[in-house]
Structure 1
Amino acid sequence: MGVTSTLSMAASVSQTKALDLTSVEDSLAFRRAVNLGSGTTAGKADKVFHDRRTLAASATEDLDLAGVLLDAFGAALTFVRVKGLYVSAADANVNNVVVGGAATNPWIGLLTATGTLTLRPGASVGAMAGVADATAYAVTAGTGDLLKVANSGAGTSVTYDIVIIGASA
């Protein structure tokens, strides 16, 4: 099974200022992208996980990046390297989605062991390794493979989308 992917992030901004006889415009088009072929070396990926998930009020879950998640075809995934990670909290959430900080065996490829990212309702975050980066964000099975996702509060559930692209070696 082959995997090809394009990972990207972009921002377009335009600002203007009126002067006495003219106006000045500053335009910015910022885009970074990585095209990955199929495989396990630099610039390649062979594993993909994507899902829309819901956590009950005050609930947490640990996503095991090494052997528990299933791909779209029902096969178990074992990531050794994460090449791209995207998480998006649903607009309709009342509580925040908190990513990172697993109590045991935390994945520290992107964040520190206790580091977290808080996604307010409608917020998204993404990270990608460069095309020449052979190491990417390493996963260590059994000791550094849990990505914690939590609902920040009581009262309501939260929904989030997650996409993980990586390599098995």
Structure 2
Amino acid sequence: MSAHMYGLLAEFPNADALCAAAKQAREHGYTRAEAYSPFSIEGLDEVLGSVPDRVAFWTLVGGLLGGAGTYFLQWYAAVVDYPINVGGRPLHSWPAFIPATFEITILGAAVAAVLAMLIQNGLPRLYHPLFEVAEFELASRNRFFLCLPAHDPVFAPGPARALLEDLQPMLLREVPG
């Protein structure tokens, strides 16, 4: 592995060719291959062996914490800290606590979902070594790329280059690290 190499980047003409290339890379033991395309490709996550995301879990946690925290705050203020008898109503008048609890539950879930998504995606990322490859800007328009990163346990420059050349990519570039 070159000390200043991020990996090898191959460009493919369409989504089917990218999926086939990703499948070949996976069959050759590459567990950290990265695919880039202008749109979501069904089944590509499974081919690459991506881990399931945890955004839904953290959204639930954020909503539960927001709702429980808001309800507790209202209960504590009305019952323990500053009880006021208004018109003979009970101090723990739960129907009055529901609107604020609902709103903060939704807010907590939304904030947690956005934060979980950003953390899982590694964002904000202002720089990535792939930005050094001029053709990579087409990944957001109409091209499909597969990168075999040098930090993959089975990566070796010669065999990785041979594997990608056998897949007949439109372009094959070494990505500087």
Q: TM-score, normalised by structure 1?
A: 0.26
Richer in strand (by share):
1
Higher RCO (C-alpha 8 Å, min separation 6)? 2
Richer in helix (by share):
2
